[in-house]
Chains A and B, each alone.
Chain A
């Protein structure tokens, strides 16, 4: 059913079950001590057969799984991505309008590899298990049972169990080099690892035995206690659930009897498959407190279960190309500009002078020099641009001033003749507009820097707790992913090891 994941290839991985990749090149550049997770060697390694992406909801788990799958395929591997509940747009991004329970080839990938994608249909998967393990008549009886129908359509844990079941099936078919699995958005981190065992032990357990075969047990000496417990219990359950539901359960269990052994064996096999070398767990998170707390929990849980964790993918990390300018200084500068604006509005003609005072206050005379040089540069730029073009794209400002917003009244001889002398004091005063805009840019930057430092603090807290976990940061995208190009872009970011700036 579930083949051993190729023990012949193991020795290398056994020793390097931590990241199979050397976190060398980027390590020195990072502030925190976390090693960098390098995804390409992981995806390229032929002994990597399963990649499991887990993490809390809303952190981009499915997108990460799809991007990794595409990247591996375009690097030459034959890949299948098993998604649980992809957003419509994501399914469409893989060119598949409706993913279903069968892997479909994704068109438009580059290179020699192949990408297939599928979406888990848990009821269908459950039905298949039943059909595979019972004869036709029995299978039909089970499928028609109301208790089974509820059970398969979604009690807590079915989705998790069926995801693992499907993974086992895909692995057993051995058609793909690499299976990338997205995990269900569980109630808690525990469910995903526990549910298969829980369902397995329930379907295989003594409660079910008691429900189905009271007569068998009753006869034996020493089982009298159980028998008492059993009759009390079925009595209570009968009272609680209503006799008819209990009967449904009993019929279901009786019909399932032959497949019981199978359930536990399968759950155990899947569990072992997850622990085996060849499987790589990636915990996906965003640099937010809750998501990283869940991530820490996953990391601890995976370690406790001997599951091979290779690292953490930290999605939606922000950067800035101007990160030397602190939030505080940016705000101070914005306030400076806004204050200067007010002044300028009060003393209209003194515009230029005000600017000079500003510069004089804050910087040495050298800067003043520079401003003047730039004044001229700006003037030239203004001349190169036709006033009409700007005028049409920016209706509120008078065309000529719009064309040269950087120009102070005293330094633009070329245009002076065309302009009304009062233009600099009009409400659309170009300096004011640019100053306002610049103040806005600075405030935007301050906001970005605050976000950045919050994200860093959150990340560092995680790293302090789990310095051994290799990490890759993926820069935030302003929009959502809509096509393979978008997924490819995320794949590039995943492989780059740190966010591109800004």
Chain B
């Protein structure tokens, strides 16, 4: 099991939720995980219903069996100052640099530096050990940028190593790359059973593979329950509406004749079923496309009551049961 779990996905697929659920799932049975946020959205704090996370590792949840989830929202600016302090003991000079706009330059404008700092911090957490030589965190889960940018984001160190051909940035970039391209890392992609996210997932996987980054699993999120099966849908197309009206009436929903209460329900209910049928066929196709990717696949249910903390634990349990952790 890779110790750095990177979770990406198209916007709107719920990658932050999946990353959080995965961190919880990996933390069960006394394990300790670090959930890392790199995009400054404070999505983790919202999910765990806590106040905004500072640039500081702190415990945000307890997993069943005594495990712990810690979280960190990486702020590239602070990460850079941290880094300068660590390697150069540049306390005051750091502030001077900031005044001159150099920090702003380094974290927002200099090509890739920002991403180097973000991935670098995550890799540092992966490798960090306590005095007894044990890893501080059993797993680090990263809520990463979306699928469209993930390869560039993870691979930026390669680019930077090429750009800065010598010096500490070069070395740092190469060290990070060694972790990211090893078995220590797995990049998971979250998708929905819809055409565009699935297409983007397939493209993203091709890109990751071309960059020789380790692709992990595909997680299909927000899967709606199968209410009607193929046989039902076949029957929907042929069933006389009067029969349905009568069944509705029999269930206590009013009169079955055309103007009756149950009778009035038939058309809208059948229309909803027709929509469902269309989506059902589409989802079927998308599952087939995903199957061709030849990767382990997990499915997480759509939570009828919307996402909340309880739902997060539910998804974590689901991931555990499906053997993702």
Q: Which of A197-247 contact B (CB under 8 A)?
A: 198-199, 202, 205-207, 210, 229-230, 232-233, 236-245
CB < 8 Å neighbour of B101 from A205, A239, A402: A205
Residue of B nearest to A237 (CB): B102
A191 to chain B, nearest CB (A): 9
Please name 30 pairs of A and B residues whose Cβ atoms are closer than 8 Å in the assembled complex, sorted by A: A56-B12, A87-B196, A155-B111, A157-B108, A157-B109, A185-B148, A187-B41, A188-B39, A188-B40, A233-B100, A241-B169, A242-B166, A333-B251, A355-B250, A359-B250, A363-B249, A367-B256, A370-B255, A371-B250, A371-B256, A377-B242, A381-B240, A394-B234, A404-B240, A434-B246, A440-B228, A444-B269, A444-B273, A478-B279, A502-B275
A444 touches B12 (CB 8 A): no
Tell me, in angstroms, the Cα distance from A342 to B199 when the chains sit together: 44
CB 8 Å contact bits of A460-502 with B (1 = contact, 0 = none): 0000000000000000001110000000000000000000011
A150 touches B163 (CB 8 A): yes
B13 touches A147 (CB 8 A): no
B163 touches A374 (CB 8 A): no
Q: Taking the complex as formed, is B200 at the interface, i.e. its CB lies under 8 A from any CB of chain A?
A: yes
A232 touches B253 (CB 8 A): no
B244 touches A441 (CB 8 A): yes
A406 touches B250 (CB 8 A): no
Q: Taking the complex as formed, is B152 at the interface, i.e. its CB lies under 8 A from any CB of chain A?
A: yes
A370 to chain B, nearest CB (A): 4
Question: Given A207-B101, A394-B238, A405-B239: A441 and B199 within 8 A (CB)?
Answer: no
A206 touches B247 (CB 8 A): no
B268 touches A320 (CB 8 A): yes
CB < 8 Å neighbour of A88 from B199, B268, B272: B199
B236 to chain A, nearest CB (A): 7
A445 touches B246 (CB 8 A): no
Chain A residues in contact with chain B, CB under 8 A? 56-59, 85, 87-89, 146-147, 150-151, 153-157, 185, 187-188, 198-199, 202, 205-207, 210, 229-230, 232-233, 236-245, 248, 286, 288-291, 293, 320-322, 325, 329, 332-334, 336-337, 340, 355, 358-359, 361-363, 366-367, 370-371, 373-375, 377-378, 381-382, 385, 390, 393-394, 396, 402, 404-406, 431, 433-445, 447-448, 450-451, 454, 478-480, 501-502
CB 8 Å contact bits of B246-272 with A (1 = contact, 0 = none): 111111111111001000110111111
Other than the given A156-B109, A238-B167, A286-B12, 4 more pairs (CB < 8 A) read: A150-B112, A358-B250, A361-B252, A363-B255
B102 touches A438 (CB 8 A): no
Tell me, in angstroms, the Cα distance from A245 to B278 when the chains sit together: 55
A97 to chain B, nearest CB (A): 15
Hey, which chain A residues are within 8 Å of B278, CB to CB?
A: 478-479
Residue of B nearest to A189 (CB): B41
A289 touches B250 (CB 8 A): no
A335 to chain B, nearest CB (A): 9
Hey, which chain B residues are within 8 Å of A239, CB to CB?
A: 88, 167-168
Question: Given A202-B109, A336-B252, A358-B250: A390 and B238 within 8 A (CB)?
Answer: yes
Q: Taking the complex as formed, is B212 at the interface, i.e. its CB lies under 8 A from any CB of chain A?
A: no
Hey, which chain B residues are within 8 Å of A501, CB to CB?
A: 268
Tell me, in angstroms, the Cα distance from A381 to B43 when the chains sit together: 56
Question: Given A321-B268, A378-B246, A382-B240: A478 and B164 within 8 A (CB)?
Answer: no
B255 touches A367 (CB 8 A): yes
Residue of A nearest to B152 (CB): A154
Q: Taking the complex as formed, is B318 at the interface, i.e. its CB lies under 8 A from any CB of chain A?
A: no
CB 8 Å contact bits of B284-325 with A (1 = contact, 0 = none): 000000000000000000001111000000000000000000
Q: Taking the complex as formed, is B90 at the interface, i.e. its CB lies under 8 A from any CB of chain A?
A: yes
Most buried by A among B111, B114, B159: B111
B251 touches A337 (CB 8 A): yes
Tell me, in angstroms, the Cα distance from A358 to B249 when the chains sit together: 9
Hey, which chain B residues are within 8 Å of A289, CB to CB?
A: 306-307
Hey, which chain A residues are within 8 Å of B110, CB to CB?
A: 155
A359 touches B166 (CB 8 A): no
Hey, which chain B residues are within 8 Å of A385, CB to CB?
A: 240
CB < 8 Å neighbour of B97 from A233, A431, A448: A233
Hey, which chain A residues are within 8 Å of B272, CB to CB?
A: 320-322, 441, 444-445, 448, 502
By Cβ-Cβ distance, the 6 closest A-B pairs, closest first, are: A57-B11, A58-B12, A362-B252, A406-B243, A321-B268, A242-B167
B11 to chain A, nearest CB (A): 2
Q: Taking the complex as formed, is B227 at the interface, i.e. its CB lies under 8 A from any CB of chain A?
A: yes
CB < 8 Å neighbour of B242 from A230, A406, A443: A406
CB 8 Å contact bits of B150-182 with A (1 = contact, 0 = none): 001000000100011111111000000000000
Residue of B nearest to A332 (CB): B252
A242 touches B170 (CB 8 A): yes
Hey, which chain B residues are within 8 Å of A404, CB to CB?
A: 240
CB < 8 Å neighbour of B253 from A245, A329, A355: A329
B146 touches A57 (CB 8 A): yes
B293 to chain A, nearest CB (A): 17
B224 touches A447 (CB 8 A): yes
Question: Given A236-B90, A440-B232: A156 and B254 within 8 A (CB)?
Answer: no
Tell me, in angstroms, the Cα distance from A319 to B251 when the chains sit together: 24
A63 to chain B, nearest CB (A): 9
Residue of A nearest to B94 (CB): A236
Residue of B nearest to A450 (CB): B304
Q: Taking the complex as formed, is B93 at the interface, i.e. its CB lies under 8 A from any CB of chain A?
A: yes
Hey, which chain B residues are within 8 Å of A248, CB to CB?
A: 163
A199 touches B109 (CB 8 A): yes
Question: Given A381-B240, A433-B235: A441 and B105 within 8 A (CB)?
Answer: no
Tell me, in angstroms, the Cα distance from A382 to B239 when the chains sit together: 10
Hey, which chain B residues are within 8 Å of A242, CB to CB?
A: 164-167, 169-170
Hey, which chain B residues are within 8 Å of A454, CB to CB?
A: 305-306
Question: Given A240-B167, A245-B163, A447-B224: A370 and B238 within 8 A (CB)?
Answer: no
A387 to chain B, nearest CB (A): 12
CB < 8 Å neighbour of B249 from A185, A293, A374: A374
Q: Taking the complex as formed, is B96 at the interface, i.e. its CB lies under 8 A from any CB of chain A?
A: yes
CB < 8 Å neighbour of A185 from B11, B40, B84: B11
Question: Given A150-B111, A241-B169, A333-B253: A378 and B271 within 8 A (CB)?
Answer: no
Most buried by B among A233, A245, A355: A245
Q: Taking the complex as formed, is B194 at the interface, i.e. its CB lies under 8 A from any CB of chain A?
A: yes
Q: Taking the complex as formed, is B1 at the interface, i.e. its CB lies under 8 A from any CB of chain A?
A: no
CB < 8 Å neighbour of A244 from B12, B165, B231: B165
B306 to chain A, nearest CB (A): 5
Question: Given A239-B167, A447-B224: A438 and B10 within 8 A (CB)?
Answer: no
Q: Taking the complex as formed, is B276 at the interface, i.e. its CB lies under 8 A from any CB of chain A?
A: yes
A478 touches B275 (CB 8 A): yes
Tell me, in angstroms, the Cα distance from A358 to B170 when the chains sit together: 77
B168 touches A58 (CB 8 A): no
Hey, which chain A residues are within 8 Å of B275, CB to CB?
A: 478, 502
Hey, which chain A residues are within 8 Å of B77, CB to CB?
A: none
Hey, which chain B residues are within 8 Å of A363, CB to CB?
A: 249, 252, 254-255
A444 touches B242 (CB 8 A): no
Tell me, in angstroms, the Cα distance from A283 to B254 when the chains sit together: 43
A438 touches B244 (CB 8 A): yes
Tell me, in angstroms, the Cα distance from A58 to B15 when the chains sit together: 12
CB < 8 Å neighbour of A210 from B100, B104, B169: B100
